[in-house]
Chains A and B, each alone.
Chain A
């Protein structure tokens, strides 16, 4: 049996083949496995790209080795020079720079389309600048080989070459549905319109009909949905200002829109809410992925001794070192190499390297339990915003974790944006018990991930009173403390600088014990406010 998801994947490929420029491409999220492999086979011939390709390789440029060997300039053509299908593997690792280059290639409408193969786990995702330009977002996870029966071989080789037409009201309905699904980008309804037209053409219809529109909604709009459409009967019947089109017109397009919305609703997966959360996380993460990855060899920072290397368009040549490397060989090379007075070989080339300080990531873990939670969280929030406002010069990112009831929650993923911070901190949970161990665990996990992404994490634990929930979520004071201490000791291995701020009315011995286990400084501050907090953080962690 062919799985409907796989059918959609094959359909997306056929549509893309028909209208590669108009549809941009496919974002395929799938772990390596039979479905992944079959999909790649179904794509057919494509130019394979990786995330570490240089500008030179992509856009072309001087071919240094052969230029030096021949003594006259010879150029290499970039992989993006010829129109065609591009396939980017490990797209979740793509840097923003690569995304910008590819986005420009797609925007040129010169016949390129892109298949982004994303093997991301959790919150890894390709940059949004790229995925926004790809019509289809497919997720193949959970499919087995048996689900993917229909494949490339079943695809008809030749198909229609022209797109079908699209009624104006259909366009209107698609746009309206995209708004109802909370899709802000205007590329989405454009892609949906092209999809409907291509789908109609595949089926030999001159104009796109209802089933084409439904397909477009399912393939393009539903995966981008950021909210579940609300049925608001109060608003929809009397439109505030009926647009110019006549009565007959509105009567035609209303049912179309409703019908499409129904189709969209039917296609929203049952776990839509949790998916939305994870999707938003993905979108949020899309901004930060692979950032901070370049530490050594980056273009800024303190210079390091130069190394032999290739001129790949990003590195800078160190002329003196290059000449020094070439100098001893000049007499030997004199007879053998053509060219001017200086005989260089590509092995002589030295490139500059710099080492830059990585960005700091301040992780706030805040106790959100009990009645004082609201105040404490508000102060922590104020401190986060103050730190961020001053942060540009010190290149800080901040993240906020709140722990209460049975677990800890990441309220604000690492960010440098004040705008985003404000939005995420607008609603603060509060009340319940104190799962200190869970809060610590989440914070250390975030710190470890942050370090992998190239940040310098630091942890600020804002606590109040004793731990009373253990890692299993059970109310047990003894276990709660021992779990907290064990988790805290985990930092001995990570060695992340930390400070424990005790906001209890009277300093709490247990917290200074936790601070010791965490190898952190302990600062009792019974009446801390946002300003004091940010002051302490700056003083203790710099």
Chain B
């Protein structure tokens, strides 16, 4: 399909939309995990967001979307080239993808026909400066998970295989989705996602009807539908862009830092990543709202998504993480 569904036209699912917008404002937040039922518009939202973002400048022909000629890795052989505009990449990582396809591998075609040792870039290269989307992330093979953990951490993909020794930048926002009924996610991978949200099919009939109605309009009267939502999408884009600009100048009061720490300690969230993510997400949230300083309201808004997947699992606890986070947030930020 050429034109993705407009982001602004997605009904409900506010937590998911907010989380995605926050990562668009500050990619360093580090990815979103969306857990929930089938057919709740997870992949629609990711694609829609990427289409909403402004195009990025890339060196023409560079497999890893370099922003500058100097950033092009040597192995690409690109020494001169003009800059072109490309949409923000959204790369699908299919479940059964081989390591070769993910990291890149020896270019068999050139090796066989020309006898050249060349590198064929993989999905990680293509996702650089964009989004890497894994549907059913919880079913991903372990060795691919290991590989992703490594790259998501370092922002660089290292390939050492078949006589190749290649490195290239791979900074992307990792978006994973899945259904927890079908399997758990490894804690280490869970931790790499900055934010996690839970989506459910709306229970409200009106909302469901609206979803079906808009989808139907999108499929059957595409052009008028897109036109109708263009203005709303543009407004959102401008808001994201001005939030990006405002982010460095935002004041973060000391008490916010203390609040972050207090929340994490109270919840027993492991490591400092929780605090950092919480802070970044709160700052992005404040910038998006047009504030000039971070407040407790921002923390309250982002704490569930930033922390719920970092809690120590208590298998005998029935209430679930969301309830625990909500309780601690209301206690600490009272």
Q: Which residues of A contact B (CB under 8 A)?
A: 22, 55, 62, 64, 67-68, 71-73, 95-98, 100-101, 104, 107-110, 128-129, 132, 163, 166, 168, 171-172, 174-176, 178-179, 184-190, 193-194, 243, 287, 299-300, 311, 313-314, 316-317, 319, 339-342, 344, 382, 385-386, 388-389, 392, 415-420, 422, 530
Q: Is B92 in the interface zone, CB < 8 Å from A? A: yes
Q: Are B113 and A418 within 8 A (Cβ)?
A: no
Q: Is B318 in the interface zone, CB < 8 Å from A? A: yes
Q: Separation in Å of the A349 CB from the closest CB of chain B?
A: 9
Q: Which residue of A lies closest to B101 (CB)?
A: A313
Q: Are B108 and A62 within 8 A (Cβ)?
A: yes
Chain A residue numbers with a CB within 8 Å of B254 are none
Chain B residue numbers with a CB within 8 Å of A72 are 113
Closest CB pairs A-B (n = 9)? A97-B96, A185-B39, A389-B315, A385-B315, A340-B115, A287-B182, A300-B143, A419-B180, A187-B39
Binary per-residue interface labels of chain B (176-211) against chain A in the complex, 1 for a CB within 8 Å, 0 otherwise: 000011111011000000000000110101101101
Q: Are A314 and B182 within 8 A (Cβ)?
A: no
Chain A residue numbers with a CB within 8 Å of B38 are 128-129, 132, 184-185, 187
Q: Are B183 and A287 within 8 A (Cβ)?
A: yes
Q: Are B215 and A190 within 8 A (Cβ)?
A: yes
Q: Separation in Å of the A40 CB from the closest CB of chain B?
A: 27
A344 to B112, CA, bound (A): 8
Among B133-141, B261-269, B283-291, B294-302, the stretch in contact with A:
B133-141
Chain B residue numbers with a CB within 8 Å of A388 are 315
Q: Separation in Å of the A460 CB from the closest CB of chain B?
A: 17
Q: Are B37 and A184 within 8 A (Cβ)?
A: yes
Chain B residue numbers with a CB within 8 Å of A175 are 205, 208-209, 212
Q: A100-B95, A171-B209, A316-B100 are in contact. List 9 more A-B contacts (CB 8 A).
A: A171-B216, A178-B208, A184-B201, A189-B212, A319-B106, A339-B113, A386-B315, A388-B315, A389-B313
Q: Which residue of A lies closest to B161 (CB)?
A: A316
A73 to B219, CA, bound (A): 39
Sample of 27 A–B contacts (CB below 8 Å): A64-B112, A67-B112, A71-B113, A73-B113, A96-B95, A100-B94, A101-B94, A128-B38, A171-B209, A171-B212, A171-B216, A178-B208, A185-B201, A193-B216, A243-B206, A299-B99, A311-B108, A316-B105, A340-B114, A341-B115, A385-B315, A386-B316, A392-B186, A417-B181, A417-B183, A419-B180, A422-B318
A193 to B215, CA, bound (A): 11
Binary per-residue interface labels of chain B (125-154) against chain A in the complex, 1 for a CB within 8 Å, 0 otherwise: 000000000011001011100000000000
Binary per-residue interface labels of chain B (207-235) against chain A in the complex, 1 for a CB within 8 Å, 0 otherwise: 01101110110011000000000000000
Chain B residue numbers with a CB within 8 Å of A179 are 203, 205, 208
- A-side interface mostly: helix
A194 to B186, CA, bound (A): 40
Q: Are A163 and B180 within 8 A (Cβ)?
A: no
- Which residue in B114, B141, B181, B205 is a CB contact (below 8 Å) of A299? B141
Chain B residue numbers with a CB within 8 Å of A339 are 113
Q: Are B180 and A171 within 8 A (Cβ)?
A: no
A417 to B182, CA, bound (A): 6
